[in-house]
Amino acid sequence: MSSSTVCRIDSTGPQMSLMGKLNGPWHKYSLWLYTAVVLAHWGEHLAQTAQIYLLHWPIPESRGVLGLWVPWLVKSELLHYAYALVMLVAFWGLRTGFVGRSHTWWMIAFWIQFWHHIEHALLQGQAVFHHNLFGAPVPMSILQLVIPRVELHLFYNTAVTIPMVIAMFYHMFPTPGEESHHNCSCSWHRRPAVAV
């Protein structure tokens, strides 16, 4: 067996940093958890758009699934900002586990999420200071001047999720050259791990 095709999983001993573990032996589980959180968030967005576009509910009453029972969840700018920040931190924290094509796509998702997070920070700032931009009755992000909020954030989430999904797909199915640089067990065709 060529050494270039061996998937290396470093020791999980105490000498390994948290970032090393997150991007090494824990990478697969971190990505599973992250994907579950992202899909739960998407479930809310898809439910909301289905309520508006298919069921023709009024927009203020289209609050996804959890928002029907807990309306403040949808209205809380703090919650939206916190989610955007968690995504940004996760993108950054899990980036070194990706190599080759998957790293390129992961970083595209990161930079789009960076702008998405700026927009949510702007909304959160208006909510904190009780002063809305452009004299609007509700907090407004920059692009909301020309695009309704529902469609704008559907677009933002799509623009972040698609490169993220492509990155994960390439990470699961790497070329042999990329796999030789993996320190995790994410590859679908992973060779038996050897400790180094």
Partner 1 sequence: MNTVRSVISVFLLVLLGLSAAGWVWAGGQPSPKLEGARTMLALCGLMAVGAMAILWRAKDEVPAE
170 near partner 1, rule: CB under 8 A: yes
If one asks whether residue 158 binds partner 1 (CB under 8 A), the answer comes out as: yes
Instruction: Give the one residue of 117, 155, 185, 194 binding partner 1; rule: CB under 8 A.
Output: 155
Q: Which two tokens stand for residue 126?
A: 């208006």
Taking a C-beta distance cutoff of 8 angstroms, is the pair 94, 54 a contact? no
Q: For residue 195, report the phi and psi dihedrals to the nearest 5 degrees.
A: -80, 140
∠ CA 193-185-87, nearest 5°, is 160
52 scored as a contact of partner 1 (CB under 8 A): yes
The contact pattern for partner 1, residues 171-190, with x = CB under 8 A and - = no contact, is -xxxxx--x--------xx-
CB closer to partner 1, 72 vs 169: 169
136 binds partner 1 (CB under 8 A): no
| Residues 161, 42 contacting (CB under 8 angstroms) | yes
Task: State which of residues 29, 32, 53, 111 lies at the interface with partner 1 (CB under 8 A).
Answer: 53
Closest CB to partner 1 among residues 66, 162:
162
* CA neighbor of 98 nearest in space, from 4, 169, 189: 169
Give least dist CB 44 to partner 1, A.
13
The b/e string for 107-139 (b: 16+ C-beta within 10 A; e otherwise) is bbbbebbeebbebbebbbebbeeeeeeeeeeeb
CA angle 129, 147, 123 (to 5 degrees): 15
- Residue with smaller CB distance to partner 1, 19 or 159: 159
| Binding footprint of partner 1 on the chain (CB under 8 A) | 1-2, 5, 42, 46, 49-50, 52-54, 56, 143, 146-148, 151-152, 154-155, 158-159, 162, 165-166, 169-170, 172-176, 179, 188-189, 191
